Structure 1
Amino acid sequence: MDEKDVRLREAAEKLALTLAQGGMQKTTARVMTALLFSQDDTMTASDLCEVLQISSGAVSGAVKQLIPTGIIERAPAPGSRRDHYRFREHAWATLMGSQNVLLATMGDAAAEGIKAAGRESTAGRRLDEMEDFYAFMQREMAALIDTWQERYDARHPSA
């Protein structure tokens, strides 16, 4: 392993540790960062096991958590019988966009509470603020992602 690979691996492990401290399962964070920092376009489960020195079951569990988030995806590998995984293009925008579902759910919960309590009640006033906040965040998040995508595409025409 050359010096560049060592530095990339250390940076990946540092980020994985930070993500784990933030609540992500440690193995999931390590698999995610291994794919993010990899110099290869794709990695197999076997590659991940070897690089991270973890079991195939651990890799499988991490992959099952990461694919639905939109951060990683299965990649086509003609001629290979193994699944190949890669860090998804525009993964960060996809991840943040999926947060709109949570924002909408929170807004809906507030609206339901307002309906039950009445907008002018003590609970209703708190729920009104909650509903307004989540509606604002949902609108702004979508607009921010669109703006970022436009700027990114302008700077990276081939992407």
Structure 2
Amino acid sequence: MPRPAELEFVERFGRMFEEVGGSRTSGRIVGWLLLCDPPEQSQPELVAALAVSKASISTELRALAARGLVERTTRPGDRRSYYRIQDDAWSQLIERRTRMIREFRQAASDGLKLLGRAAARRRARLELLARVYGHMERALLAALAEIKSDVAEFDRGRGSR
């Protein structure tokens, strides 16, 4: 069972997920999976650790798996499923965000084409949006390259799972 300081960490993750539009329970699951030992947990273990219903845990695990943050695994000789943070969860998260930002930038560029030679006042909002999202896209792509390099270095240092 989590200690009080661990529960506060888990709650903090829940609040952070909620702040960015996710569910508090998803954030709590991620927070616990970052701390727990062993690093993979069964649904009953998650229910017990987080004091959340089995149905909520099941729903949120499916959502987290669909987003590439959590993966389901098994253990030899054990029929239960276990869940853990996916090895490349953070780079996948950045890749998804980069695609979303690219779509916004492209939509702004397409809007500028629609306006053609319209007055600068009409074009200004879209021009700024395209520039801001262009900066964000380039920054995230650079960060992603560094993240992937860090992950590869980390993996070399710890060996495979």
Do both proteins adopt the same fold according to a TM-score greater than 0.5, normalized to the shorter chain?
Answer: yes
For structure 2, list consecutive stretches of 5 or more residues without a partner in the other structure.
none
Equivalent of residue 98 in structure 1, options 96, 110, 122: 96
TM-score, normalised relative to structure 1: 0.83
Contact 1:12-1:30 within 8 A present in 2 as well: yes
* CA apart distance, 1:94: 2.0
Contact 1:66-1:72 within 8 A present in 2 as well: yes
Q: What does 1:127-138 correspond to in 2, within 5 Å? A: 127-138=126-137
Contact 1:20-1:26 within 8 A present in 2 as well: yes
Contact 1:9-1:37 within 8 A present in 2 as well: no
Contact 1:119-1:125 within 8 A present in 2 as well: no
Equivalent of residue 86 in structure 2, options 83, 88, 91: 88
**% of aligned pairs identical?**
24
| CA distance in structure 2 between the partners assigned to 1:37 and 1:24 by the alignment | 20
* CA apart distance, 1:127: 0.8
Contact 2:74-2:80 within 8 A present in 1 as well: no
Query: Could you say what secondary structure the match of 1:128 adopts?
Result: helix
In 2 relative to 1, CA 49–155 (structure 1 residues): closer, same or farther, beyond 3 Å? Answer: closer
Contact 2:17-2:26 within 8 A present in 1 as well: no
TM-score, normalised relative to structure 2: 0.82
Task: Give the structure 1 partner of residue 40 of structure 2.
Answer: 42
For structure 1, list consecutive stretches of 5 or more residues without a partner in the other structure.
none
Task: Give the structure 2 partner of residue 158 of structure 1.
Answer: 157
- In the comparison of the two structures, how many residue pairs are matched? 157
| CA distance in structure 2 between the partners assigned to 1:72 and 1:101 by the alignment | 20
AA matched with 1:49: V
In 2 relative to 1, CA 155–61 (structure 1 residues): closer, same or farther, beyond 3 Å? Answer: closer
* CA apart distance, 1:78: 2.9
Equivalent of residue 68 in structure 1, options 66, 74, 77: 66
Query: Could you say what secondary structure the match of 1:75 adopts?
Result: strand
| CA distance in structure 1 between the partners assigned to 2:154 and 2:26 by the alignment | 31
Q: What does 1:88-127 correspond to in 2, within 5 Å? A: 88-118=86-116, 120-121=118-119, 122-127=121-126
Q: CA RMSD in A?
A: 2.3
